[in-house]
Amino acid sequence: MDKLNPQQQEAVETVNGPLLILAGAGSGKTKVLTHRIAYLLEIKACEYENILAVTFTNKAANEMKKRVGILLGNKSFNSYTSPIFWLGTFHAICLKILKKHSMEAGLDPNFLIYDTDEQLDVVKSILKKMDLSDKKLSPKGILSNISNAKNELLTPKEYEKYAQGFLQEIVSKVYFEYQKKLSENNALDFDDLIMKTVELFEENPKILESFQNLFKYILIDEYQDTNHAQYRFANLLAEKHHNICVVGDDAQSIYSFRGANIQNILNFERDYPEAKVIKLEQNYRSTKKILAASNEIISLNRNQKPKKMWTENNDGAKLVLYEAINEKDEAMWIGKKIQELSDRGVSLNDIVVLYRTNAQSRSLEEGFLRLGINYQVIGGVRFYSRKEIKDVLAYLKIIYNQNDNVSLLRVINTPRRNIGPKKIALAQELALKAGLPLLLFLLKQKEDSVIDKAFVGFAKIVNELINQSSELPVSKLIEKILKLTGYLDLLNDGTTENESRIENIKELISVATKYEVMDPKTALETFLNEVALIEEQSNRNDTALDKVTLMTIHAAKGLEFDYVFIAGLEEGMFPHSRSYLDPKELEEERRLAYVALTRAKLQLYLSYAETRVYYGGSNSNPVSRFVTDIPEDLLEIESTLGMPSGWQNADDFFKAEEKELFLNKNKSLGINKGDIVKHPVFGIGQIIEMDDSTIVINFSVGKKELSLEYAQLEKL
């Protein structure tokens, strides 16, 4: 094979026996996989049906089929015409197996596959039957727990043995009923596809043997992302001939929240003592300086397969590190840098801004809109278009304008109050007859009214909010909405999705704090008007072809860009504060940092904020350990404090009164050395040193030096 380096060629031609290919970032992993399949077909004369190649996405599978076709001289290969039948995702492969052996698996051949919405409907119906409120028990949270159980190959009976505490006991009961419902409806969910296939193999040795004989060569892509069920599936098929080739990079294992188990790749040589290991360490993507910084960061993880990535690419520029005053300053700096790149002829499509949490996109989006920079949010929607944000804004709109029926109808049953379409239609009809807007009609109703009591309860909540709106700042009004409606409680189910939504709501509260200097009577109107203008502006750039990409680091895995910005590099933000108490989670955060840096081809820009408004308060956190791990000679530091060349005074970016508020609102009151205090990120700690400007506190996560002005401490 041509155009392969020696390690790549060895990986392609080592086809017998177990093989672990440790493919570092930008090392040509897909190239190796496609060449290996082509080598098996063309050189080893292997039949198409004797190759099992498993990927994680349909996109990756289709791309591999296309590239194999090109290597074999058939450019017309695609997902439909390719003869490589057994190349696809775990779910697609298992579906084919179950369709072929549905009877032996105890399934009707015409079984259906339920999507997420259908699964949720089943869970909701079960909760209702069990007389359990889906307001207090999140159907999504319960479904997530059931999914985790299936990924661990735990049946309802097995899960019941391990269930501890109220929630798990509820999940256990729902899990039994959930499987019963699926069976009654002749349906499977996506997790069942793998679990049922593993059960089929374990309970039918002859069927297992037939597939072991069929798949002479097994290839598993992204092995570091496999869960227990996927691991079991692959190893059952490989246990006869051991011709299994797994490809992955433990340094890019970042999906534990989805059930991925890094030990699968770390323990491959334990599972197959005769395994050969080939390291692909030559990087074709990044500059020497970017790789040097990335290597330094990941080298500090203990639980890993050591690699030393290198490149023949040029040295490249130093990584630029910006010390921002706050998140607004950070967003404007990033925007200015992007404008500079654009002026040099760089396409916006070649630029990405990465962040740890979805909520961080808000300040970036607003900064880009102010500067007229077109952007797109990948893996999510724009901040003010996110469901939870639109819900909270709808409550604020009906508080401000009781004639707003559109906003009213959006939240009248959010959270769910047993107010369905029929009840709403009746209430609207009665309101029309009374000649009143719907909300005003509801506000006039009593407990003994002809309309449903749920309407009266909703109206009471809204009325209380209206009465308090003239006295409460917008940020406190939002908090009141969340409390009275139970909206935040609804999201507190422990799922990753809802954690992200809570963070978004906290970010909205943070936005609202800047209006605290205004009279509450005018602040709400101003806030809603400014949000509307931002939404309108953001809609305008939808048609632009040239856009900066905004995304979380998790969403960026597998992608590459010429110019990469990584924002929010502070302790508590990245690494995330919830990782502090678990060494395994901290190591995953470090792997996440490695993934972020290795997306860059030509230039890396890093930034952190000395203070960041979060959940209504200004938090002061030190720069991320992932930045301090980078050797100083690889960094070029810019700082507002030093007013670097070309940087404008911070007063250009936020009003003088805002700046004064920002600087003065968070001064600590009445604390002394030895006092016990509480920090919003680091928790409870004891003051061990302090002077006029700084304070050192011993927290459970270690000693932290904070700015006294911005520390947001609560004396206990």
Query: Model confidence over 522-559: pLDDT tens digits?
Result: 888 888 888 877 776 666 556 667 999 999 999 999 99
Q: Which of 253-267, 292-306, 539-553 has the lowest mean pLDDT?
A: 539-553
| Token digits of residue 590 | 């470090």
* 482/168 Cα distance (integer angstroms): 26
Structure confidence at residue 690 (pLDDT): 80
* 475/1 Cα distance (integer angstroms): 63
pLDDT surpassing 60 at residue 158: yes
Q: What mean pLDDT is predicted for residues 408-422?
A: 87
Given pLDDT bands bounded at 50, 70 and 90, which one contains residue 620? confident
At 279, which helix (H) or strand (E)? strand 276-280
Q: Any idea how long the chain is?
A: 716
| Sequence-distant (≥ 6) Cβ neighbours of residue 224 within 8 angstroms | 248, 249, 250, 252, 253, 260, 262, 264, 265
> Which residue is listed with tokens 């919830």?
578
Structure confidence at residue 702 (pLDDT): 63
pLDDT surpassing 90 at residue 417: no
Q: What mean pLDDT is predicted for residues 592-608?
A: 97
Q: What mean pLDDT is predicted for residues 333-341?
A: 96
CB atoms within 10 A of CB 480: 18
| Residue 534 main-chain phi, psi, to 5 deg | -65, -45
CB atoms within 10 A of CB 445: 19
Q: What mean pLDDT is predicted for residues 155-165?
A: 90
Structure confidence at residue 423 (pLDDT): 87
Active site residues: 29-30, 221-222, 252, 599
pLDDT surpassing 50 at residue 650: no
Of the CA atoms within 13 Å of residue 368, those in its CB half-sphere come to 26
> Kind of pairing, strands 611-614 and 617-620?
antiparallel
pLDDT surpassing 50 at residue 652: no
Given pLDDT bands bounded at 50, 70 and 90, which one contains residue 131? confident
Q: What mean pLDDT is predicted for residues 436-448?
A: 79
CB atoms within 10 A of CB 540: 11
DSSP single-letter state for residue 115: -
pLDDT surpassing 90 at residue 31: yes
* Short-list 604, 559, 540, CA closest to 337: 604
* Short-list 329, 421, 413, 404, CA closest to 367: 329
Instruction: Confirm if 355 and 364 have CB atoms less than 8 A apart.
Output: yes
Residue 674 region by backbone torsions, left for phi larger than 0, else alpha for psi between -120 and 50, else beta: left
How far is C-alpha 378 from the chain's CA centre? 11
Residue 17 region by backbone torsions, left for phi larger than 0, else alpha for psi between -120 and 50, else beta: left
pLDDT surpassing 50 at residue 436: yes
Instruction: Please state, in angstroms and as integers, the Cα–Cα distance from residue 189 to each residue in 94, 174, 323, 687, following that order.
Output: 12, 15, 48, 53
| Token digits of residue 346 | 């760089």
At 508, which helix (H) or strand (E)? helix 496-512
Q: Where would I find the beta strands (DSSP E) of 93-151? A: 112-113
At 702, which helix (H) or strand (E)? strand 702-707
Instruction: Confirm if 417 and 454 have CB atoms less than 8 A apart.
Output: yes
* 191/360 Cα distance (integer angstroms): 32
Of the CA atoms within 13 Å of residue 95, those in its CB half-sphere come to 18
* 332/363 Cα distance (integer angstroms): 9
pLDDT surpassing 70 at residue 654: no
Q: Where would I find the beta strands (DSSP E) of 485-620? A: 548-552, 561-566, 600-609, 611-614, 617-620
| Token digits of residue 473 | 């700042």
- Annotate 291-326 with b (16+ C-beta within 10 A) or e (fewer): bbbbbbbbeebeebbebebebebeebebbbbbbbbb
* 359/535 Cα distance (integer angstroms): 16
* 27/45 Cα distance (integer angstroms): 27
How far is C-alpha 1 from the chain's CA centre? 39
CA dihedral 253, 255, 257, 258 (to 10 degrees): -130
At 698, which helix (H) or strand (E)? strand 694-699
Q: What mean pLDDT is predicted for residues 67-71?
A: 88
| Token digits of residue 614 | 């979060």
| Sequence-distant (≥ 6) Cβ neighbours of residue 695 within 8 angstroms | 668, 671, 687, 689, 705, 706, 707, 708, 711, 713
